[in-house]
Structures are given as C-alpha cells and as structure tokens.
Structure 1
C-alpha cells in the first residue's frame, strides 16, 4: 500500500514507520523536524517536511495514497488543539486529491459505554482518567467530531493506556464499543492494528477499541 503517516516522530508513529516499511509498503512521513526521526529506520522512507496544520503544504503528501494514518497527539496535559487542527488540515488536503482512507488514533479513556465494567464506567474513567487527561481528551473529542463530519472513509482507533512493551500479537479489538478488561495497549500492537485496519474496508466509519 501507499501510506502517509502523520505524528511519525512519536512513539506510535515510529512503530508505524518500522512495521510499514518492514512489510514492504511505500511510506511517506510528514514531519515538522526530520531530525527527530530515528536514524535506524529501514530504508525506503520518503520524508516530507511541512507545516502539519497547512492543507496546502501537506496536500502533495496525501495525494493518490491508499491510506493516511494520523498518530498525532499532545506531549503534555496542557490545553491543546493539535489533534483537532491537524485532522482538519489532513481532511481538507485529502479532499483536494484522490485519497479517501483516513485512520486516526484516539484514546479508549475518552468514552464510557456498555463495554466497560461497572467500576471502570462509573468511577475510574469519569472520576480519574477523564479528569487527569481533561485537555488532551477535549482535543481528541473535537478531532473525532470533525473527522466524523467529513465524507472520507475514516476509522477511529482507540487504544488503552499505551506502553512500550513491544509487539505481542495478542491484542483484542471491539468495534463501536469499549473492551472490557482492556487495561493497556503496546504501541507496537497499536501500529500493527492500524496497518491491518487500513487494508480492511469493513472498518470504514467505525471506532475500533484495541487492547491486550
């Protein structure tokens, strides 16, 4: 597949790059600062330096791609609009070309639903997790809203607490509902799931939870 990845210098983004290149995909990374990319990435990566919030600047990188994947996220708990603004820019740029498939990384703690256990649904998430990540979750919530409002073939992927424990291959998924007992997700498993979903048309216009 021809893939373009945003948020490529973050933990999940780097895993996406490594796995996509290892699988033989044609990969473009759109970054503000190429120096933040690891030096030991597999060969073949196309690096585009651009303002990620400027649709005109990123349009060439998303044109005629099989899928675009966003692993954008904030690096602290301060107020931010990085996810919402970047997804708007990406969607606008894609609308000008011939690319329709867009996958966005969100967070499992963002929503509570019937998939959660009672204690998680009424105590852990609303009273602890959602308060702790108040600003980043507000940004992700708005990003999801903006993505759902587009005409693109989108998929929202919601991992649990992210870890760097490596690829396990034992992760579970649930569509449009949270995963009961899904306490963590490795970044490598998340990347693996994103790449699998990118090639799965059945996941279009669904929110997919992923956790071990």
Structure 2
C-alpha cells in the first residue's frame, strides 16, 4: 500500500512510519523539518517538505497514493507535530492552535482534488462521553479534563466534524492518554469508547492505525483503543 503520513515527526507518527515500512508499505511523510524524521534513506520512504495547511502544497504528495494518515495533534504554539496526551490524561489546554481541524480540512481538500479516498485521522477519546465510559470517567474525570484541555478538545471536535462531513472513506481513531510504554495487548471498540481504557502506548496506537487501514468495514466509523 502507498501511504501518506502527516504528523510523521510526532510521537505517534514516527511509529506509524516505522511500522508501515516494516510491513512493506511505501510511505510518503509530509513534514515541516526533514531533519526530524528518522529512517532517512529507506528505499520505501519519500519525504516531502510542505505546509500541511496548504492544500495545493500537499496535493502533489497524494497523487497515486492509496490512503492518508493524519497523526497531527495540538501543540503549544501550533507546531502540530503529533498528538499530545489529550485522551484522558495530562496535556496543555491553553495556547494551542487549530492545527488539527485546519490541517484536516486542507488534507480533505487535497484528497478530493487527487481522488484519494481512504483517510485515517487520530483525535482522542477525552472529548467524547458515551456508553463506553464508566461513572468515574463520565462524571469526574472527563468533565475536569474538558475544563483543563478545552482548546485541544475543541480542536479535536472540529476535526471530527470536518472528517465526518468529508464524503471520504474515513475512520477516526480515538486513543486515551498516550504513553511511550512497551507494546502489549490492547482493546478496540467501534463507535464507542473502550471501557476502562485510560492509556495506550503510541506504538500500539500505530499498530491499530495500520490494522484499520486494511479493514474497509471501519470506513465511516470511529475506532477507540485502550488497554
């Protein structure tokens, strides 16, 4: 499969790139700083330096590709290099830009222009309360997080809305708090939060993203992950 990865220099994006290459995929990494991307020189890795917020600039990276993965995330100052831990844990709730939603809109515009239809976008589970949440999460943890991380969560909510309205074959990934822990067995749930899933390692989130890419039944759905 030929993949385009945005946020490839972020914590999750680096794992997506590495695991995709290990699985034999061809990867186009769209980055702002080529020097921050590992695996330079890999035969199946192409690096494109472009502004993710410019649909015309990123459209060339998509021509002839099979799918797009956005691992963009809110960062203080708007660097947007990868998802922060805004699922059900700590992170910065103020001073963040709208890079996730603005980036999603630009990516969607470029995908429509180039005819690429498969889109995987990472947001978070923290801004969503549903039947997958237990009482503590529903009434204590998430209301507190919505106050602390309101800007990042608002950006994720706008991202969800843009992706759902895109008309593409989209899947939204909803992780909880991201860690750099060791890989282990994780759980997934479709269109509902994972009950009790409060953390996941970035490496396992990347594994789940690649699994979703190969599962057309997840198109038009959200997929939550967690331990």
* Structure 2: tracts of 5 or more residues without a match: 77-91
Q: Distance in 2 between matches of 1:164 and 1:106?
A: 17
Query: Which stretches in structure 1 are left out of the alignment for 5+ residues?
Result: none
Please report the TM-score for the alignment, with normalisation by the length of structure 1.
0.95
Q: Give the match for residue 7 of structure 1.
A: 7
**What's the offset of the Cα at 1:40?**
6.8
* 1:113 equivalent in structure 2: 130
**Match status 1:134 vs 2:150:** yes
Go from structure 1 to structure 2 and tell me whether the alpha carbon gap of 1:11 and 1:206 turns closer, same or farther (over 3 Å shift).
same
Instruction: Choose which of 181, 189, 192 in structure 1 pairs with 2:207.
Output: 192
Secondary structure of 2:126's partner?
helix
Change in Cα spacing, 1:39 to 1:67, as seen in structure 2 (3 Å) is closer
| 1:60 match | 60
Within-5 A mapping of 1:1-212: 1-38=1-38, 42-76=42-76, 77=92, 78-126=95-143, 128-168=144-184, 170-212=185-227
1:147–1:30 Cα change, 3 Å = same
Query: How many residues of Structure 1 are paired with residues of Structure 2 in the alignment?
Result: 210
Counterpart of 2:87 in structure 1 is none
Measured after TM superposition, the shift of residue 201 of structure 1 is 0.4
Please report the RMSD computed on the Cα atoms of aligned residues, expressed in angstroms. Answer: 1.3
Change in CA separation of 1:21 and 1:39 when aligned onto 2, cut-off 3 Å = closer
For the residue of structure 1 that corresponds to 2:65, the secondary structure is: coil
Q: d(CA) in 1 for partners of 2:134 and 2:56? A: 45
